[in-house]
Amino acid sequence: MNIQVTLAANSENPLSIDVGSGISVATLIESFEERYLLGVSAMDETHREFVELVNRLGSAEKAAFIALFDELVRHTEQHFENENELMRETAFPAIREHTDEHQRVLGELKRIGNKVATGSTAVGRAYVREQLPSWFNLHAITMDSALAAHIRKTAV
């Protein structure tokens, strides 16, 4: 006797993305995933906001894109400053490399933000689409994850 197993159709799954359809994919970072949760609520909340902002940029028209990019720069500046402060407060051993990385990315964001503010949105769109999501994925699961583990340890 043969047993046939039928898998649920992927097209029914709201999380699936048709990468073959090109730029219609607006979600640049998949909605805040559990793997980003670090167990430090201040960091998790900021990261949730960051992901939301990046995804809104993914589908924004020009005027909205310019305003949102400026919001992203200011949000990221605060995001990094808060983490830098946490590192100082808890004497995080890798403070140097983590704050250096924040400074590098913030510098990049500000440089691109200056271009976007003058109406050159193409460079901003490319950055938000091609670089920021992969940077965030890597940063969250490496440097931020290490910082969160350190904070959780020193808090007890």
Q: Is 28 helix (H, G, I), strand (E, B) or coil?
A: coil
Taking the C-alpha atoms of residue 66 and residue 16, their distance in angstroms, rounded to an integer, is: 29
Residues 58-87 that bind Fe ion (CB under 5 A): 83
Question: What's the closest the beta carbon of residue 86 comes to Fe ion, in angstroms?
Answer: 9
Query: What is the signed CA dihedral for 135, 127, 101, 31, rounded to 10 degrees?
Result: -40
Question: What's the closest the beta carbon of residue 47 comes to Fe ion, in angstroms?
Answer: 6
Binding mask 106-125 for Fe ion (x = CB under 5 A): --------------------
Closest-CA residue to 102 (of 147, 62, 58): 147
Question: What's the closest the beta carbon of residue 143 comes to Fe ion, in angstroms?
Answer: 5
Is 29 an interacting residue with respect to Fe ion (CB under 5 A)? no
Chain Cα centroid distance, residue 25: 16
Is 55 an interacting residue with respect to Fe ion (CB under 5 A)? no
Residues whose CB falls within 8 Å of the CB of residue 55, separated by 6 or more in sequence, listed in order:
26, 27, 28, 29, 31
Q: How many residues bind Fe ion (CB under 5 A)?
A: 2
CB-wise, 59 or 142, nearer to Fe ion?
Answer: 142
| Amino acid making up residue 8 | A
Is 144 an interacting residue with respect to Fe ion (CB under 5 A)? yes
CB-wise, 66 or 144, nearer to Fe ion?
Answer: 144
Q: Interface residues with Fe ion (CB under 5 A)?
A: 83, 144
